[in-house]
Each structure stands twice: as C-alpha cells, then as structure tokens.
Amino acid sequence: MTSRILFALACTLPLTACIDSGTSDELDQDDATAGDASKADAPGGTYTYYYVTSDMKQCFVAAPNCGGLYYRLANATKTTCLDGKKAEHCYAAAADLTKLGLAETGTNKVYEAFRSGEVLMRATIGSKKYTGIGAGTYAQINSKEAWLPQGPNPVEGPLMKIEDSGVRCITFPCPSFRELKLNSAVTAQIADVQWEHSGASDRLVGTALDKMHTDGLIVSGYRTTVTGPGGDGKARSVTQLWFKVTNEPVAAECHVGGCSGQVCSEDPNVITTCEFRPEYACYHAATCEVQADGNCGWTETAELQACLASPPN
C-alpha cells in the first residue's frame, strides 16, 4: 500500500511534461526478435510476444488451411513464419490455450477477443500435422500468457512492460519506474507514467498501478520529458494498456446506456429503442459496475430488487 501511495503522489505532483518528437526514445526502434523459444518460460521475461487474431475471411474449404489464426511479432514490422519466410503476419491453424491455466470464463474471453480484435500473447510457435482434407503441417500457437487491451484508444508507440524500479528519491523527477521493451533486451529507467492520452479513467489507472505490482502491466506510448525540482527526467505517455487474463475477474470500464439509461455494459455507445417501461426508472439510482463474474452489470441491492418488483408508475 505504501508503494501505491508513492506512485500516486509521483503522478499527481505538479511536474511539467511535454511530448517532443525530437526526444530520443531508445525503445522506438525495429530491433524486435522472437529469440530462443526457451525464453518464453523465463519469469518476468519480455520475449516471444505476438499479436493474435482470428482468420475472418470467408472459407470455402475446410480447416486447417482456413479459419485459423493470424499472428505477428510485437514491436516488429516483419514476422518469421513456419516456412522461414518473413511476412507482415503469419497463419496458424490453431492455438493451444491449455497452458494459460484459465477456467471457462477466462478462456471464453480470449476466444471472444480473437474474434473482435487482437490478443497480445506470450507464446511459442510450434507445428502440427493434419491429415485428410487440407493435409499438411501448419503452425500452432502454444500460448503461455494472454493479455487484453483495456483502453479506448489505438496502439501508438512501442510496447513495453512497466515495473517498479525500486528507486526512491527525495525530489522529482525520480526514476521510480523501469520499462522493458517486448521482444528486445532494451530497457530504460523513467520518472513518470502519464495517462492523459490513454483515455483511461482514474479507476482504470488505479487498477493498472495495482496490476504492475501483481499480474503485470504492458503499455504502448511515446517518450516524453518531465521537469521538476530535480531537473529533467524521462517519462512515458501511455496510449494503450493491457492486463493479463487470469481467473480473477477482469476489471472493465462500465457505462450506462440505452434510451432510458437501462443498460449497463462495457460499450459506451449502446443504442436501444425508446419504448417506456416503469422498471427503467429503478436503474436511475442503481450502481453500474463490474460484477463478480468480471462483466458489467447492475449491482443487486435490496432497494433495486424492491423497486423492480414494484416499479413506480
């Protein structure tokens, strides 16, 4: 808790910050490499991270040569595919998620994320032989970790893990954070993690700082400079952030929507028809928040239940 308070103070003290395109960013270079597959098991490692998404094109033939997944190396413009050729993305017939250690709810979140966008995965790329129609040897994604994006903004800048550096100072800026570039050996000490351009709420930022000390935190963003009593220091302006999928509920941003404010969901732009129902008035005083299953919903209080049982006219 003490370290959490120190970080909160570091992020709220009146430092001057600026985004300067001329500021040198040692993490912003195309030096990514998947490295040795054995590095995928190194505790706290930063190698073998890929973006993974579903193959959504219409299939006229049976799997495995259609309807699988595409993968691409994070922080790189090219990925080495199973056949040794380099491409913007590579095809895999399937993904093995068993080593994620997730229950059904967590596994379903990963599959849903495959279909709706890209999942950041720590994985090794293996191979599997298929017989019958489409017989051949295809890539298989052997997953170690799955990370889901949390913010509303697109990814801009390099991807890195953010850690507590263990450094404590009596002045600012202070290099209290360490950033470790994914799929690279490049690291840097920074004085501040800035959230203004991430679109994240205060609640989500608080969760991110907690995750940094527990399950881990991955962000993308730009190098910035902060200035304070201690001079100038390096910082990172976050554009997107990722949390690792675990069996614990994934914190979501919940929004009230619908024509009558009757919908509680992760979608801030829910549109519904505008028919009037008396029970909708009950939600005006209810709380829309993350529930025990990790999804958004109305918190069931005695007052809400009583109102729904006998709604106002």
Residues 240 and 259 in one domain: no
Last residue of a domain, one of 192, 220, 244: 244
Looking at the DSSP bridge assignments, the partners of residue 265 are: 255
Last residue of a domain, one of 196, 223, 244: 244
**Containing structural domain, residue 107:** 45-149
Residues 197 and 145 in one domain: no
pLDDT of 200 reads 86
For residue 55, give every residue at least 6 positions away whose Cβ sits within 8 Å of its Cβ, in sequence order, or none: 66, 67, 68, 69, 70, 91
Residues 113 and 202 in one domain: no
With cut-offs at 50, 70 and 90, classify the pLDDT of residue 177.
Answer: very high
Residues 12 and 54 in one domain: no
Look at residue 249 and tell me if it is in a domain: no
Is it the case that residue 144 has pLDDT exceeding 70? yes
Residues 175 and 115 in one domain: no
Output the six-digit token pair for 153.
């903004």
> SS3 of 70, please?
strand
Residues 138 and 175 in one domain: no
Look at residue 77 and tell me if it is in a domain: yes
96 and 123 Cβ atoms separated by less than 8 Å: no
Look at residue 25 and tell me if it is in a domain: no
Mean pLDDT for 282-309 is 85
Residues 201 and 239 in one domain: yes
Is it the case that residue 9 has pLDDT exceeding 70? no
Residue type, 30: D
Look at residue 237 and tell me if it is in a domain: yes
307 and 283 Cβ atoms separated by less than 8 Å: no
Is it the case that residue 15 has pLDDT exceeding 50? no
Output the six-digit token pair for 240.
């997107």
Last residue of a domain, one of 213, 244, 275: 244
Range of 59-73, 129-143, 155-169 with top mean pLDDT: 155-169
Look at residue 39 and tell me if it is in a domain: no
Is it the case that residue 191 has pLDDT exceeding 90? yes
Look at residue 289 and tell me if it is in a domain: yes
Q: Which residue has the tokens 């709604």?
A: 311
Which residue in 203, 213, 201, 207 sits closest to 176, CA to CA? 213
Residues 50 and 13 in one domain: no
Residues 158 and 11 in one domain: yes
Output the six-digit token pair for 241.
């952030």
Residues 235 and 264 in one domain: no
Look at residue 299 and tell me if it is in a domain: yes
CA distance 51 to 70: 8
Residues 233 and 162 in one domain: yes
Tally of domains in the chain: 3
236-290 pLDDT per residue, tens: 999 999 999 988 765 567 889 999 999 998 888 888 888 888 999 999 999 988 7
